[in-house]
Amino acid sequence: MDVLDAGTHKEIIAKLDYPAPKCPHCQGQMAKYDFQKESKIPYLECAGYKTLIRLKKRRFRCKVCGKMAVAETSLVKKNHQISIIVK
């Protein structure tokens, strides 16, 4: 994780990665695939600066059915790019 001071705001650069889960479709074993394009997630102000989290999420591919899944976090709802705390 890195923190950038962009002058008008702070940017936190991070990757979301964890061991491959079971496939939500067929329950087969998934494998790590690659990272999704970076999401720019607005977050709460910190010390008077707006904060932006630039998050790359791990993608997984099922070895059995070939379906893809994306790593999930409690910070952002599935298929969303605005943090729950900001909404």
pLDDT, tens digit (0-9, with 9 covering 90-100), for 24-68: 999 999 999 999 889 899 988 878 889 999 999 999 999 999 999
- pLDDT bracket for residue 16 (50, 70, 90): very high
**Among 67, 4, 72, which residue's Cα sits nearest to residue 36?**
72
Cβ-based burial of 48 (10 A; exposed 0-12, middle 13-18, buried ≥19): exposed
List the alpha helices (DSSP H) in the chain: none
Indicate whether 87 pLDDT > 70: no
Rg (CA), the chain: 15
pLDDT at 69: 93
Q: Could you state, in order of their start, the residue ranges of all structural domains in the chain?
A: 2-70
- pLDDT bracket for residue 21 (50, 70, 90): very high
